Amino acid sequence: VSRPPQPRDDSTVDRRHLLRLAGRSALGFGALSVLAACGDGARTSAPAPTRAARAPASTSSASAVTASTQDGEPTASWWERGNFAPVTAETTAHALPVEGALPPELDGLYVRNGSNPRSPAGHWFVGEGMVHGVRLRGGRAEWYRNRFVRTPVYEQGELPPGPPGYANGYANVSVVHGPADRLLCLGEIGQPYELDPSDLSTIGLFDFAGGGALGPNVTAHPKIDPATGRMHFFGYGLLEPPFLVSYTAAPDGTLERVEPIGVGASTMIHDFAVTDRDAIFWEFPVLFDLDLAIGGEAMPFRWEPSYGSRIGVLALEGSGADVRWVEIDNGFVFHGLNAFRRGDEIVVDVCRLDSVFDDAPFGTQASHLHRWTIRDTGTQLTFRSERLDDAQLDFPFVDRRFVGRPNALGFFAEFEHLDGAPIATSLVRRDDRTGAIERWDGAGLQLGEPLLVPAGDGEGEGWLLSFAHDQASGLAGLVVLDATNVRAGPVATVHLPVRVPFGFHGTWVPGDPT
Ligand SMILES: [Fe+2]
């Protein structure tokens, strides 16, 4: 167990100084709206110009990612090409054609969020949030809608002045069916925005009942305990401490726990894990860099190996001061699959990269499933890590009924690099009891995060849903697979009349939001 590193002089941000700089320059704070999103776990920083940057990006350790033609003209970055490119229209379509047979028990809304910039963006993670939803009922696909999330960024057509956080975020990373039956869009930077599941319209900012204690930023990856219904989550600070805060919301949406945690600097922390009694945080050496932000970097984080990496274990009911840390090898993790207690050990399965936001071109690094085993003697933590598979897996999805409990199954998207871009081309079911991987190869379609809608009592019994992009037609489908027989491919495909760009994370809202 070790103490977190102490803040260094150059990691302590003087917010007043920052505000003065922003007030003097034409840059504003657009460049600070860093949106750390999600994906295949294969990305690094991208010093392409941002929409807000009127000055060149500052010196960065990251290499340029924008290719050039022979005459030197820049070509589009991969997140501006193919099915990464945004769409402009908001579409409503009813009575969608279905190929195959939709399971009648699928009664609810599948909805997925993503970054959909309305002006050129300097990074895949940066752009207005757009949700795409399909309402399924009685074996029919009743409607499809896509809607921008009505944040101030959307309403004003540009990033509002002022520091990022609170209302000032894109809400573009995930959508979660959260406490008090609320449907929340989350963006990691900024607070949640609530949607109406009946038509995907934006209700407004959601800061929890008894709010006011909620900090500026909320992770896009909260965890809902299947036994208690409590939502555990965290936020990290960019400009000033606390740089990490652990939260718990009651099932009725009341914010009942706010616990600042001492860490040495503002680092990008995209996800975490919970057991039935612990919150597990991972901190890697990806530091928020004010100079990069002021210089107009779309993603102002830098790889700083000397900062080190560590895992923090904190009781779900505990004080932030009681967090215990164990040092680990440098690397980076966007997404965890699950965590659970096993005797005096905590098992955490994650999709791990060797590094990120370093010199490697954005999007080229592979993510692999690793198992962290943390032995907890009560006073001391020890750590070991093993790679579980060589497949390039990310977008992990655990049966939500097993969050924090021993799980045998994991669902993933499997990625390839095509024309320089990370593309999900298979959906995968991995059985940890045997290590066996079963995959559907996508039949030439390009895929997204697999989402499990439970049906039946056993782990992994249910339906696996993902948007799919058909390059031939340029249109999207919603594929539905039997999660117990992934290799058989879709039992049904809902054909959509439009393209659905690659995005990040989705959820299922059961029942009847009309
Ligand atoms: Fe994510």
**pLDDT category, 347, cuts 50, 70, 90?**
very high
**pLDDT category, 74, cuts 50, 70, 90?**
low
* pLDDT tens, residue by residue, 460-507: 999 999 999 999 999 999 999 999 999 999 999 999 999 999 999 999
Q: Exposed, middle or buried: residue 384 (CB in 10 Å: 0-12, 13-18, 19+)?
A: exposed
**CA geometry: angle 465, 466, 467, nearest 5 deg:** 140
* Spacing, Cα 187 to ligand 1 middle (Å): 9
* Spacing, Cα 138 to ligand 1 middle (Å): 31
* pLDDT tens, residue by residue, 224-283: 999 999 999 999 999 999 999 999 999 999 999 999 999 999 999 999 999 999 999 999
* Spacing, Cα 505 to ligand 1 middle (Å): 7
What average pLDDT does this structure show over 184-204?
98
**pLDDT value of position 493:** 98
What average pLDDT does this structure show over 203-230?
93
**pLDDT value of position 419:** 87
* Spacing, Cα 40 to ligand 1 middle (Å): 9
What three-state secondary structure class fits 154?
helix
CA–CA separation, 58 vs 21, rounded Å?
15
Average model confidence (pLDDT) for the chain?
A: 87
* Spacing, Cα 456 to ligand 1 middle (Å): 27
What average pLDDT does this structure show over 177-187?
96
* Spacing, Cα 95 to ligand 1 middle (Å): 31
Other Cβ atoms less than 10 A from the Cβ of 484: the count is 17
306 pLDDT more than 80: yes
- Which has more confidence, 455 or 18? 455
Across the beta sheet with 436-440, what order do the strands follow? 393-397, 409-418, 421-431, 436-440
Q: Exposed, middle or buried: residue 22 (CB in 10 Å: 0-12, 13-18, 19+)?
A: buried
Query: Which of 424, 331, 326, 341 has the alpha carbon at shortest distance from 384?
Result: 326
**pLDDT category, 30, cuts 50, 70, 90?**
very low
**pLDDT value of position 435:** 98
Strands 381-387 and 368-376: antiparallel
* Spacing, Cα 50 to ligand 1 middle (Å): 21
* Spacing, Cα 422 to ligand 1 middle (Å): 15
* Spacing, Cα 508 to ligand 1 middle (Å): 16
**pLDDT value of position 286:** 97
SS3 per-residue string spanning 464-511: EEEEEEECCCCEEEEEEEECCCHHHCEEEEEECCCCCCCCCCEEEEEC
* Spacing, Cα 69 to ligand 1 middle (Å): 33
* Spacing, Cα 346 to ligand 1 middle (Å): 22
* Spacing, Cα 271 to ligand 1 middle (Å): 7
**pLDDT value of position 2:** 41
* Spacing, Cα 239 to ligand 1 middle (Å): 22
328 pLDDT more than 90: yes
* Spacing, Cα 270 to ligand 1 middle (Å): 6
26 pLDDT more than 90: no
Amino acid at the residue 82: G
Q: Which residues contact 226 (CB under 8 A, 6 or more apart)?
A: 400, 401, 402, 403, 404, 405
* Spacing, Cα 377 to ligand 1 middle (Å): 31
4 pLDDT more than 60: no
What average pLDDT does this structure show over 90-94?
98
* Spacing, Cα 25 to ligand 1 middle (Å): 33
**pLDDT value of position 211:** 65
**pLDDT value of position 424:** 98
Could you give the C-alpha distances from 161 to 115, 127, 164, 354, in angstroms and in order? 20, 16, 9, 36
* Distance linking the first and last C-alpha atoms of the chain: 51
**pLDDT value of position 262:** 96
49 pLDDT more than 80: no
Q: Which residues surround ligand 1, an ion (CB under 5 A)?
A: 38
* Spacing, Cα 242 to ligand 1 middle (Å): 22
* Spacing, Cα 308 to ligand 1 middle (Å): 22
**pLDDT category, 360, cuts 50, 70, 90?**
confident
* pLDDT tens, residue by residue, 240-255: 999 999 999 999 999 9
* Spacing, Cα 71 to ligand 1 middle (Å): 37
* Spacing, Cα 504 to ligand 1 middle (Å): 6
Q: Which residues contact 179 (CB under 8 A, 6 or more apart)?
A: 208, 224, 229, 231, 249, 250, 251, 252, 253
321 pLDDT more than 90: yes
Amino acid at the residue 32: L
- In 161-272, the DSSP E strands lie at 174-177, 183-186, 193-195, 202-205, 223-224, 231-235, 244-249, 255-261
Maximum average pLDDT range among 16-20, 407-411, 415-419: 407-411
**pLDDT category, 163, cuts 50, 70, 90?**
confident
What percent of the chain is modeled with pLDDT above 90?
77
* The residue to which tokens 């990806």 are assigned: 286
Amino acid at the residue 369: L
* Spacing, Cα 182 to ligand 1 middle (Å): 20
71 pLDDT more than 70: no
